[in-house]
Amino acid sequence: MNPVRVALAVARKDLRSEWRTRELVPALAQFIVLALVIANFGFQIDPHNAPSIAPGILWLALVFAGLVAFGRAFAAEREQATLEAMLMTPASPVALFAGKALASAALLVLCEAVMLPALALFFGTQVSGEVVAAVLLATIGMAALGCLFAAMVARIRARELLLPLLTLPLWIPFIVAGGQAVQSAMGLGGGYDEAIGLLIDLDILFVVLTSLAARFVLDE
């Protein structure tokens, strides 16, 4: 069982479970739409200020949705005692971790597929391929980090408090770069290429680091 097959098996299992129960994605999609509605009232958005506020709302909604998605990736395993069953097999913890990160990233991307059109619809901002690229790139790094700390937090008490506390400081560079990229793609300000370059660098760095750290967090 080579690690890639293991990772894909884990991802497939997670996605299949989600498909059968349909718990996470509808709840997250609803949450995101609601967040957009509330933002409209909170920020008094009109066609003039929409392009400057929309990127902020996008990332805010994404961060909260991400925390829920990644938190659940490991919380459910913990409750079902399945995490230990997986760890009792010879499968490498890094492969298990990669599979979970893949699956929760995929679920978050599904939510993004709801959010971006909703953003365009409600706020009249352009959602171009450039915006999508920035969001997808940021999702990769955020998934790696979110899942690592979710795995850690699943074994500790007070996980709803701890997960944001540990994860958000590490997500800040992604939000800064991603926010600038989206803002630039929506026509305000520049630096798109640099922002994308920064996102790619961050992705590479943190995917490598989290892979190295996975065995310390997952294994007993």
Binding site for another protein (CB under 8 A): 1, 5-6, 9, 13, 16-17, 20-21, 80-82, 84-92, 145, 148, 152, 155-158, 161-162, 165-166, 168-170, 172-173, 176-177, 180, 189-191, 194, 198, 202, 209, 213, 216-217, 219-220
The secondary structure element, H or E, covering residue 163 is helix 159-185
Query: Cβ 95 to another protein, closest distance in Å?
Result: 9
Those residues with Cβ within 8 angstroms of residue 51's Cβ, 6 or more apart along the chain or in another chain: 123, 125, 183, 186, 187, 188
Cβ proximity to another protein, 48 vs 158, nearer residue? 158
Phi-psi region at 45: left, alpha or beta (left = phi > 0; alpha = psi -120 to 50): beta
For another protein, the closer of residues 20 and 48 by Cβ is 20
Between 68 and 178, whose beta carbon lies closer to another protein? 178
Looking at the Cβ atoms of 21 and 126, the one nearer to another protein is: 21
Minimum CB distance to another protein smaller for 34 or for 79:
79
**Beta carbon of residue 117, minimum distance to another protein (angstroms, whole number):** 27
| Exposure string for 85-113, b = 16+ CB within 10 A, e = fewer | ebeeeebbbbbbbbbbbbbbbbbbebbbe
Name the minimum Å distance from CB 45 to another protein: 20
- Least Cβ distance, residue 175 to another protein (angstroms): 9
